[in-house]
Amino acid sequence: MNYLHNKTILITGASKGIGRATALELARHQVNLGLVARSGEELQALQQEVLQLGSACEVFAGSVADESLAQKAVAKMQDRFGRVDILINNAGYGNSKPFETFSEQEWDELYATNVKGTFLFSKAVAPGMKQQQSGHIIIIASDVAKRTFPTGALYCSSKFAQHAFGDAIRKELRPYHVKVSTVYSGLVDSQFHAEPQGDNSHSWWLKNEDMARSIVFIANQPAHVVIDEFMIHPLEQDY
C-alpha cells in the first residue's frame, strides 16, 4: 500500500548519504519533495533524478542552522503543494576527539546543525501540521542518542539532545494527530566517516539504502499508526 502518494515531504541533509538515498526511495512513491542541504549543485543533480522518477521536487540550498531558510522552504512547499505532510530531520555530522580539545566554535557549529537545525525545521512545520490535524516529523538521531563512547562527548550529547527534543514534541503534537518518530541507527556506510563511502572497513555496515527503506517504512503507515522509535544496526555491530 502506498500511503505516501501525493504527500509533500521535506528532507534536510538530502545531498549525500542517508538523506539522498531516502529522497530517491521516496521519489518512487510519487511524492512532492523539498530537498535541503548546503551543496546546491548536488541538490540540483538529485532534483533531476527525482523528476525522472515521476515525483515533483524543489531544492533549498543553505544551512539548517539558518531560520530564514527553514521558514522559506516550508512557505514555498505550502505555496506550491498546499501543505507539508512529513519532515525528515536528517542533516547532521559527527566529530570525535578528547572533549577538552574541542574549541567553542566546534561545539557551537555541531550543535547548530544537529540540534538547532532539528528545532528550526520542526518549528517551521508545526503550525501547519497542527492546523491540518495531521503530519509526521521524523528525526534521524543515532544509537549514540542512547549510549556514549570515549571521544564522543560532543556528538553523543547532540544526539541525546535530539532524542529528548523528539520525546518532548511527541507529547506536544500527539493531541493534534501529528506523529513524531525518532530513528536510532548504528554504523552506516555514508560520507559521514573519516574513511570514504564504500571503504573496505565498512563492508559489513548498513548501506544508505537500508536506512532509506527503513525511513520509508516508518513514513508509509496508515494514519492511525505511529512508529515512535526505530532502532537499527548491522547484524555484526554489538548493541
Ligand X SMILES: NC(=O)c1ccc[n+]([C@@H]2O[C@H](COP(=O)([O-])OP(=O)(O)OC[C@H]3O[C@@H](n4cnc5c(N)ncnc54)[C@H](OP(=O)(O)O)[C@@H]3O)[C@@H](O)[C@H]2O)c1
- Number of residues binding to ligand X, judged by CB under 6 A: 30
Q: Binding segment for ligand X among 70-78, 85-93, 95-103, 166-174 (CB under 6 A)?
A: 85-93
Using the structure block, give the residue that is written with the C-alpha cell 514534541. 169
Residues that are catalytic:
155, 159
Answer whether 37's CB lies under 8 Å from 14's CB: yes
Q: Does 142 bind ligand X (CB under 6 A)?
A: yes
Tell me whether residue 30 or residue 197 sits nearer to ligand X (CB atom).
197
For 136, 222, 228, the CA distances from 174, given in Å and listed in that order, are 10, 15, 11
Q: How many CB atoms lie within 10 A of CB 104?
A: 7
Q: How far apart are CA 208 and CA 188, in angstroms?
A: 6
Q: Which three cell numbers stand for residue 227?
A: 512508529
Residue 194 CB coordination number (10 Å): 8
The contact pattern for ligand X, residues 163-202, with x = CB under 6 A and - = no contact, is ----------------------x-xx-xxx----------
What's the Rg (C-alpha) of the chain?
Answer: 17
> Shortest approach of ligand X to residue 127 CB, angstroms?
22
Cell of 168: 518532548
CB-CB neighbours of 221 under 10 Å:
16
Which one among 64, 110, 120, 126 touches ligand X, defined by CB under 6 A?
64
Identity of the residue, 75 or 223, whose beta carbon is nearer to ligand X in the bound complex: 75
**What's the min distance (Å) between Cβ of 20 and ligand X?**
7
From residue 118 to residue 137, the character string flagging contacts with ligand X as x (rule: CB under 6 A) and all else as - is --------------------
Please say which residue, 67 or 134, places its beta carbon nearer to ligand X: 67
Q: Is 31 in the site for ligand X (CB under 6 A)?
A: no
∠ CA(141), CA(239), CA(204), 5° rounding? Answer: 85
Report in angstroms how near the CB of residue 1 gets to ligand X at its nearest. Answer: 27
Which of the ranges 8-16, 79-87, 174-182, 215-223 carries the binding residues for ligand X, by CB under 6 A?
8-16
- DSSP-derived letter for residue 196 is P
Cell 515512535 locates to: 228
Interacting residues with ligand X (CB under 6 A) = 12-19, 36-39, 42, 63-65, 90-94, 113, 140, 142, 185, 187-188, 190-192
